[in-house]
Amino acid sequence: MPSAHESDSHVDTAEVPTIDRSALTATTFLEIVDTLVGEFDVIDVLTSLASRCVELLDVAAAGILLADETGRLRVIGASTEQVQLLELFQLQSDEGPCLDCYRTGLVVASERLDAESPWPVFAAESLRVGFPSVCAVPLRLHDVVLGCLNLFMRDPVPLGALDVALARALADVASIAIVQDQATREAAVREGQLQHALSSRIVIEQAKGMLAEFAGVDMDHAFARLRSFARNRNRRLTEVAAELVAGSIAVAQVSPGRVPPPPAGKAGPPPV
């Protein structure tokens, strides 16, 4: 009978891989969430995520493909240069698990590419570089498929159910990163547009004040003259206002000066 110490050692040794994997999984998700809170490079995040897939899952390599605005898949992250080239080959030959995964929104897997395959060209190339088994997991945002996560194995065996579940979770994280990046870019555009609008408004107000002072009219009339001047010349209002403030356009060009009051005794017709 083994001693208590030997028994404890055996249990600890058996549990180490599970503990390490759990800790690495938790660390991976925490790191990604922490990254998404601040500014980040989505390509860098997804490339790191592809590498972590190799560490966390029973796979040899991983690649992430993302659809562009036209619906064409692009390689955006890969754990190795070799798998990146294989992904590019897959796209160029227009056949492979990632394409079917993207089109259907379902997990697509083949544990034996050396058997009869629906993607003979891709299968031959994947076998040539040493990947006889593959699994593609969709990147989704609700019902929209953004791309896919491709997992490659060195042995002709299926990916285990737990690994597939974890791959789905990692694919969801990748989807969040992609959507967050897009939202950040759109927010930046909106912020830039808002700042431009605010700056333009200040310039227009300055131009109105110059016209009102020069012509002795109120601000509404000054604005009407400024806009009329711009429209008659097919110019943008903001551009004309900026040039007026900068002195590139003379105030007198936009609006006539003050009309002097009539001389005394000539203010109106003589009394009857």
Q: Is residue 236 part of a domain?
A: yes
Joined tokens for residue 241: 């206002």
Q: Distance between CA atoms of 136 and 145, rounded to whole angstroms? A: 13
177 and 78 fall within a common domain:
yes
Q: Distance between CA atoms of 131 and 111, rounded to whole angstroms? A: 10
Q: Is residue 227 part of a domain?
A: yes
210 and 110 fall within a common domain:
no
The pLDDT assigned to 26 comes to: 66
pTM recorded for the entire structure: 0.59
178 and 193 fall within a common domain:
no
Number of domains in the chain: 2
104 and 23 fall within a common domain:
yes
Mapping DSSP onto H, E and C, the string for the chain reads CCCHHHHHHHHHHHHHHHHHHHHHHHHHHHHHHHHHHCCCCHHHHHHHHHHHHHHHCCCCEEEEEEECCCCCEEEEEECCHHHHHHHHHHHHHCCCHHHHHHHHCCCEEECCCCCCCCCHHHHHHHHHCCCCEEEEEEEEECCEEEEEEEEEECCCCCCCHHHHHHHHHHHHHHHHHHHHHHHHHHHHHHHHHHHHHHHHHHHHHHHHHHHHHHHCCCHHHHHHHHHHHHHHCCCCHHHHHHHHHHCCCCHHHHCCCCCCCCCCCCCCCCCC
Residue range of the domain that includes 75: 4-184
Q: Distance between CA atoms of 168 and 171, rounded to whole angstroms? A: 5
Q: Is residue 259 part of a domain?
A: no
Q: Contact 159/167 with Cβ under 8 angstroms?
A: yes
161 and 107 fall within a common domain:
yes
The pLDDT assigned to 127 comes to: 96
Task: Single out the residue in 140, 169, 184 at which a domain terminates.
Answer: 184
The model's pLDDT over 87-110, given as tens digits with 9 standing for 90+, comes to 999 999 999 999 999 999 999 999
Residue type, 17: P
The pLDDT assigned to 272 comes to: 35
The model's pLDDT over 150-173, given as tens digits with 9 standing for 90+, comes to 999 999 988 888 888 888 887 887
Residue 36: CB atoms within 10 A of its CB come to 18
Identify the segments of the chain with pLDDT beneath 70: 1-19, 21, 24-26, 28-42, 181-198, 257-272
CATH number of domain containing 233: 1.10.10.10
Q: Contact 56/160 with Cβ under 8 angstroms?
A: no
Q: Is residue 272 part of a domain?
A: no
Q: Which residues contact 154 (CB under 8 A, 6 or more apart)?
A: 60, 130, 131, 132, 133
Q: Is residue 90 part of a domain?
A: yes
CATH number of domain containing 48: 3.30.450.40
Residues paired with 148 in a beta bridge: 65, 138
Q: Is residue 92 part of a domain?
A: yes
Q: Is residue 54 part of a domain?
A: yes
Task: Single out the residue in 130, 152, 184 at which a domain terminates.
Answer: 184
Place of tokens 């060195």: 154
93 and 214 fall within a common domain:
no
Task: Single out the residue in 184, 206, 233 at which a domain terminates.
Answer: 184
Q: Distance between CA atoms of 24 and 12, rounded to whole angstroms? A: 18
Q: Distance between CA atoms of 152 and 172, rounded to whole angstroms? A: 19
177 and 238 fall within a common domain:
no
192 and 178 fall within a common domain:
no
The model's pLDDT over 173-190, given as tens digits with 9 standing for 90+, comes to 777 777 776 666 556 555
48 and 17 fall within a common domain:
yes
124 and 57 fall within a common domain:
yes
178 and 228 fall within a common domain:
no
Q: Distance between CA atoms of 196 and 188, rounded to whole angstroms? A: 12
125 and 139 fall within a common domain:
yes
Q: Is residue 114 part of a domain?
A: yes
